[in-house]
């Protein structure tokens, strides 16, 4: 592709993206593709000769677009958000244009230093106390995995890295504690870090589904009595099911007393702490050894961008770093080489999009947007509370409302579960909104998570109308 062709296609594509963002609401939110739809259109092998962009673009619009679920649609209420924004897309584009690999300071000093400063800005914005050091990872899952590796290495004096887990613990099992509402990435991270799924200990929860510190204490005591090695506790600030907020201030002293690594998973919720009135969600964060939250979920930064903070970067580096000759530079003693702060060697220049977003919006506007999402979620919760035939199933400390439909004459958990799954399938199929479910205990629970850049109270009202209309149609 010659420079002038590139320029032309890029301009066209930016126009297309701008139109898309402006009119994302003309698409059904969730793709209606059936399994294999796109595969059936794609040739089995790559072309031998290059094809014109016009042909590729036509195929994109005809074949690929129908298979897109529109995460940045203003009526996307599923899972947790993964939102984006103009400045973020521009930062992403520039990062692709530069094609930088920020594995070492020397491989692009600006990539490392911008990342250092962005992590510091972000830490201040969410009110982290001094002493935390940040790095951008791809996802919260990776960050939690790294935290568990750090915990393992601290518990074994780095012997697990050296000798392998078999001998490092003298045959004793390292134990990880997390509430049974914790995200599946904790179990995955513990499995991959060699703890073994059986050694992830589910901690009891209270009526609001927050980790119960008394149960944690009890489980640690039982494990010590059984000859196990308590190693780490993962607290969740904003659980995926219903955004419960584990009490860090109570968990921290327990972790400290028993020498446990305290990792805080605030994947979604961390962003809310940019609002002074929401800072309480991180009360007690000073006890933590590590924290992760995702600007790519709720801070208008394109996927992927996950902020991982540790108290002791030397410890993280000792757990992660390997220095073959070909990666050594003359500056290593003076600079940060982020390849030593995680799993990856090669690293994308993610700080650029974060910088664009934080500067172009500014903290005030970001707070206003997050605040409007919180308000819209509270309004939806109020409508559910007031409407006969609907039930709210959890408190709403953040942007997510858990609820279910109670159709007249239908009783029993199984029957209600079936009706609610049916309602969700129907309303999603209509394309006006997209929402997903979880189970709280045995109860199928619909979740409405507000968090897209362009979502307003009016969109949330449309969601409520769509749910009521569909319920009426089914009834």
Ligand X SMILES: Cc1ncc(COP(=O)(O)O)c(C=O)c1O
Sites of contact with ligand X (CB under 6 A): 80, 139-141, 183, 185, 236, 238, 240, 265, 267-268, 294, 306
Q: What is the largest CA-CA distance in the chain?
A: 75
Q: Where are the alpha helices (DSSP H) in 134-183?
A: 140-155, 159-163, 165-168
Residue with the two structure tokens 């977003």: 357
Give the Cα separation of 307 and 296 in Å (integer): 9
Residue 66 or 202: the one with the smaller Cβ distance to ligand X is 202
- On the 0-12 / 13-18 / 19+ scale of CB atoms within 10 A, 352 is buried
Instruction: In angstroms, give the least distance from the CB of 148 to ligand X.
Output: 13
- On the 0-12 / 13-18 / 19+ scale of CB atoms within 10 A, 71 is middle
Give the Cα separation of 66 and 448 in Å (integer): 24
Q: Copy the structure tokens of residue 178.
A: 């997390």
Structure letter (DSSP) for residue 169: T
Neighbours of 33 (CB within 10 A): 13
Q: Where are the alpha helices (DSSP H) in 239-336?
A: 248-257, 295-298, 313-320
Instruction: In angstroms, give the least distance from the CB of 443 to ligand X.
Output: 19
CB 450 within 8 A of CB 435: no
Residue with the two structure tokens 């947007």: 369
Instruction: In angstroms, give the least distance from the CB of 167 to ligand X.
Output: 32
Residue 70 or 296: the one with the smaller Cβ distance to ligand X is 296
Residue 168 or 190: the one with the smaller Cβ distance to ligand X is 190
Residue 269 or 463: the one with the smaller Cβ distance to ligand X is 269
Residue 168 or 211: the one with the smaller Cβ distance to ligand X is 211
Instruction: In angstroms, give the least distance from the CB of 179 to ligand X.
Output: 11
Give the Cα separation of 474 and 422 in Å (integer): 9
CA angle 170, 175, 179 (to 5 degrees): 180
- On the 0-12 / 13-18 / 19+ scale of CB atoms within 10 A, 346 is exposed
- On the 0-12 / 13-18 / 19+ scale of CB atoms within 10 A, 403 is buried
Instruction: In angstroms, give the least distance from the CB of 156 to ligand X.
Output: 25
Residue 181 or 223: the one with the smaller Cβ distance to ligand X is 181
CB 104 within 8 A of CB 337: yes
- 304: preceding bond cis by omega (within 30 degrees): yes
Instruction: In angstroms, give the least distance from the CB of 398 to ligand X.
Output: 11
Residue 203 or 416: the one with the smaller Cβ distance to ligand X is 203
Instruction: In angstroms, give the least distance from the CB of 142 to ligand X.
Output: 7
Instruction: In angstroms, give the least distance from the CB of 238 to ligand X.
Output: 6
Instruction: In angstroms, give the least distance from the CB of 456 to ligand X.
Output: 23
Residue 293 or 405: the one with the smaller Cβ distance to ligand X is 293
| Sheet of strand 200-203: strand arrangement | 133-137, 306-310, 290-293, 261-265, 229-236, 174-179, 200-203
Instruction: In angstroms, give the least distance from the CB of 139 to ligand X.
Output: 3
Residue 88 or 240: the one with the smaller Cβ distance to ligand X is 240
Instruction: In angstroms, give the least distance from the CB of 71 to ligand X.
Output: 12
Residue 274 or 292: the one with the smaller Cβ distance to ligand X is 292
Residue 178 or 433: the one with the smaller Cβ distance to ligand X is 178
């Amino acid at each position: 592709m010659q420079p002038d062709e590139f320029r032309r296609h890029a301009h066209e594509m930016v126009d297309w993206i701008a139109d898309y963002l402006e009119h994302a609401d003309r698409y059904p939110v969730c793709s209606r593709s059936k399994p294999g739809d796109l595969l059936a259109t794609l040739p089995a092998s790559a072309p031998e000769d290059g094809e014109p962009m016009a042909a590729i673009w036509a195929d994109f619009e005809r074949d690929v677009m129908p298979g897109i679920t529109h995460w940045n649609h203003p009526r996307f209420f599923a899972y947790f958000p993964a939102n984006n924004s103009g400045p973020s897309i521009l930062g992403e584009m520039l990062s692709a244009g530069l094609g930088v690999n920020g594995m070492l300071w020397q491989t692009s000093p600006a990539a490392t230093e911008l990342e250092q400063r962005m992590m510091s800005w972000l830490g201040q914005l969410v009110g982290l106390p001094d002493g935390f050091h940040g790095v951008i990872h791809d996802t919260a899952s990776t960050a939690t995995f790294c935290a568990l590796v750090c915990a393992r290495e601290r518990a074994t004096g780095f012997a697990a890295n050296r000798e392998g887990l078999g001998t490092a613990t003298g045959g004793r099992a390292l134990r990880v504690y997390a509430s049974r509402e914790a995200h599946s990435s904790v179990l995955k991270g513990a499995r991959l870090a060699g703890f073994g799924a059986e050694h992830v200990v589910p901690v009891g929860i209270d009526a609001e589904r927050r980790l119960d510190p008394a149960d944690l204490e009890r489980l640690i005591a039982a494990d010590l009595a059984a000859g196990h090695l308590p190693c780490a506790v993962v607290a969740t600030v904003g659980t995926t099911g219903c955004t419960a907020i584990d009490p860090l201030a109570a968990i921290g002293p327990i972790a400290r007393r028993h020498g446990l690594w305290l990792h805080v998973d605030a994947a979604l919720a961390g962003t809310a702490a940019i609002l002074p009135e929401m800072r309480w969600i991180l009360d007690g964060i000073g006890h933590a050894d590590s924290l992760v939250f995702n600007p790519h979920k709720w801070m208008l930064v394109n996927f992927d961008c996950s902020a991982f903070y540790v108290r002791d970067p030397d410890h993280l580096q000792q757990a992660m770093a390997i220095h073959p000759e070909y990666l050594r530079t003359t500056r290593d003693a003076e600079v940060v080489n982020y390849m030593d702060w995680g799993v990856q060697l090669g690293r994308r220049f993610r700080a650029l999009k974060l910088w664009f977003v934080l500067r172009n919006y500014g903290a005030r506007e970001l707070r206003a947007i997050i605040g409007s999402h919180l308000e819209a979620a509270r309004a939806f919760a109020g409508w559910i509370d007031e409407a006969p035939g609907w039930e709210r199933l959890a408190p709403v400390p953040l942007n997510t409302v858990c609820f279910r439909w109670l159709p007249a004459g239908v009783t029993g958990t199984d029957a209600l579960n079936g009706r609610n799954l049916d309602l969700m399938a129907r309303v999603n199929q209509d394309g006006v909104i997209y929402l997903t479910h979880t189970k709280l205990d045995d109860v199928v629970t619909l979740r409405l998570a507000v968090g897209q850049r362009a979502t307003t109270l009016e969109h949330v009202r449309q969601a409520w109308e769509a749910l009521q209309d569909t319920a009426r149609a089914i009834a």
